[in-house]
Amino acid sequence: MFSYLRKRFSRHLRERSRRRARLVSKDGRCNIEFGNVEQSRFVFLIDIWTTILDLRWRYKMTIFISAFLGSWFLFGLLWYVVAYIHKDLPEFNPSINHTPCVENINGLTSAFLFSLETQVTIGYGFRCVTEQCATAIFLLIFQSILGVIINSFMCGAILAKISRSKNRAKTITFSKNAVISKRGGKLCLLIRVANLRKSLLIGSHIYGKLLKTTITPEGETIILDQVNIEFIVDAGNENLFFISPLTIYHIIDKNSPFFHMAAETILQQDFELVVFLDGTVEATSATCQVRTSYIPEEVLWGYRFAPIVSKTKEGKYRVDFQNFSKTVAVETPHCAFCLHNEREAKAKEKKGFDNPGFVLSEVNETSDTKM
């Protein structure tokens, strides 16, 4: 009993480790790590806009808050220094006729409040710059310009983060498994994809990449070698009318990398099928890409997808997403090579067979009629 549980547990660990060894997760995230990068991290600061957009929300909000609080406090110190140099603070006991650079600055706290009012253009009217100090006028202009730049950059980054097409990609879903069965008399690999929103993706295009380890004739081992996989949709491969779930399929012919696989050997293969869907968001005109992947354990041989679209009594079309990833077992050849040979045999039967032992002999006709 203990040995049985140990074998089952070890097999579960092997399957679990194999499932984790994938480049693209089911939700489209890439599982890759860059090591020993020689370039300095300062190169990411050159493209600061993309760096800010790629940050997670907690880091972005930290930078957002720190940028405003830091600028307010920094200029508050500068306003305090101006008041200190000009001897406007109460500790210098200014005379009644003394005109300060900034009125009603009594310390660091009031200087911070004036900096805040200046940069966000609140303007309470209690504190204001006078015309007696050119340094204060220059500092006011500089803070106003820099405040507009900070406000535009940070608010633009927040807006761009919210409206990124990556969020639109989350409303595009693929079936949990891919299936292999006959379609139109051919053996095909089928995947179902659905748009969860009523708004369309303009100019949608679907394609795939098969990732596997190959060895070249020269003996070079290529890890994650990419092979193009062409997917076909009955409605056309370009500019899909993506209003209802679509079933895309790849024909397993002699040019397909799945041609030499069989139902008994597909689980022994080491590959990852990555499927891409590119399109333009109708609302924002921004391009987006949706991707997912399938490993051998997620490819079901001899199944097809259950029907998902029906028509109601009111004349509306209803999509039942409960059956979106549901599969039904069907009769399917156990390999594409067998189906190909079967089709060739049937074609030869229709044409007939040549008998190599048949010899055509000519007979001379003689006339036995006598006149």
pLDDT per residue over 135-164, tens digit each? 999 999 999 999 999 999 998 988 888 877
Same domain, 338 and 191: yes
Residue 34 belongs to some domain of the structure:
no
- Other Cβ atoms within 10 Å of 214 Cβ, number: 13
Q: How confident is the model at residue 371 (pLDDT cuts 50, 70, 90)?
A: very low
Q: Which one is predicted more confidently, 79 or 23?
A: 79
pLDDT digits (tens, 9 = 90+) for 249-303: 999 988 888 888 888 888 888 889 999 988 888 777 778 888 999 999 999 999 9
Residue 4 belongs to some domain of the structure:
no
- Other Cβ atoms within 10 Å of 205 Cβ, number: 15
With contact defined as beta carbons under 8 Å apart, do 288 and 205 qualify? no
Same domain, 97 and 229: no
Same domain, 196 and 246: yes
Residue 12 has pLDDT above 80, yes or no: no
Residue 81 belongs to some domain of the structure:
yes
Q: Return the pLDDT at 163.
A: 75
With contact defined as beta carbons under 8 Å apart, do 322 and 306 qualify? no
Same domain, 255 and 303: yes
H or E segment to which residue 175 belongs: none
204: three-class secondary structure by DSSP: strand
Domain boundary among 161, 194, 209: 161
Give burial (CB, 10 Å; 0-12/13-18/19+) of 49. exposed
Same domain, 156 and 199: no
Same domain, 219 and 331: yes
Q: Look at the chain and report how many structural domains it folds into.
A: 2
Q: Which one is predicted more confidently, 34 or 257?
A: 257
Buried b (16+ CB within 10 A) or exposed e, 294-331: bbbebbbbbbbbeebeeeeeeeeeebeeebbbbbeeee
Domain extent, residue 299, equals 168-348
Mean pLDDT taken over the chain: 81
Same domain, 180 and 320: yes
**Distance in angstroms (rounded) separating the CA atoms of residues 261 and 20:** 23
Residue 15 has pLDDT above 60, yes or no: no
User: Residue 52: CB partners within 8 Å, gap ≥ 6?
Assistant: 60, 63, 157
CA-CA distances (angstroms) from residue 175 to 89, 171, 247, 316, 326?
A: 71, 13, 10, 24, 9
Residue 24 belongs to some domain of the structure:
no
Same domain, 283 and 192: yes
Domain boundary among 161, 182, 201: 161
pLDDT digits (tens, 9 = 90+) for 49-81: 888 888 888 998 999 999 999 999 999 999 999
Q: Which one is predicted more confidently, 356 or 98?
A: 98
**CA dihedral of residues 56, 59, 61, 62 (deg, nearest 10):** 180
First-to-last alpha carbon distance for the chain, in angstroms, is 106
Choose the weakest-confidence range: 23-27, 137-141, 328-332.
23-27
Choose the weakest-confidence range: 84-88, 103-107, 168-172, 267-271.
168-172
Same domain, 190 and 325: yes
- In the chain, the percentage of residues whose pLDDT exceeds 70 is 81
Q: Strand pairing partners for 246?
A: 193
What does the pLDDT average to over 17-32? 72
Q: What is the CATH number of the domain that holds 177?
A: 2.60.40.1400
Q: Return the pLDDT at 77.
A: 95
pLDDT digits (tens, 9 = 90+) for 186-205: 899 999 998 888 777 887 88
Residue 121 has pLDDT above 90, yes or no: no
Residue 317 belongs to some domain of the structure:
yes
Choose the weakest-confidence range: 88-92, 208-212, 236-240, 324-328.
236-240
Q: Which stretch, 20-29, 165-174, 189-198, 344-353, has highest mean pLDDT?
A: 189-198
Closest by CA to 179, choosing from 81, 82, 249, 276, is: 249
Q: Which one is predicted more confidently, 16 or 58?
A: 58
Q: Return the pLDDT at 81.
A: 94
Q: Which long-range contacts (C-beta less than 8 Å, at least 24 apart) are formed by 12-20?
A: 15/297, 18/295, 18/297, 19/295, 19/297
Residue 25 belongs to some domain of the structure:
no
Same domain, 182 and 325: yes
Q: Return the pLDDT at 342.
A: 62
Residue 167 has pLDDT above 60, yes or no: yes
Residue 361 belongs to some domain of the structure:
no
Residue 4 has pLDDT above 50, yes or no: yes
Q: Say what the pTM is.
A: 0.68
Same domain, 191 and 338: yes
Residue 8 belongs to some domain of the structure:
no
With contact defined as beta carbons under 8 Å apart, do 229 and 212 qualify? no
What does the pLDDT average to over 119-134? 86
With contact defined as beta carbons under 8 Å apart, do 135 and 82 qualify? yes
Domain boundary among 134, 161, 188: 161
304: three-class secondary structure by DSSP: strand
With contact defined as beta carbons under 8 Å apart, do 207 and 226 qualify? no
Q: What is the CATH number of the domain that holds 109?
A: 1.10.287.70
CA-CA distances (angstroms) from residue 50 to 24, 45, 192, 336?
A: 22, 9, 33, 46
Same domain, 273 and 220: yes
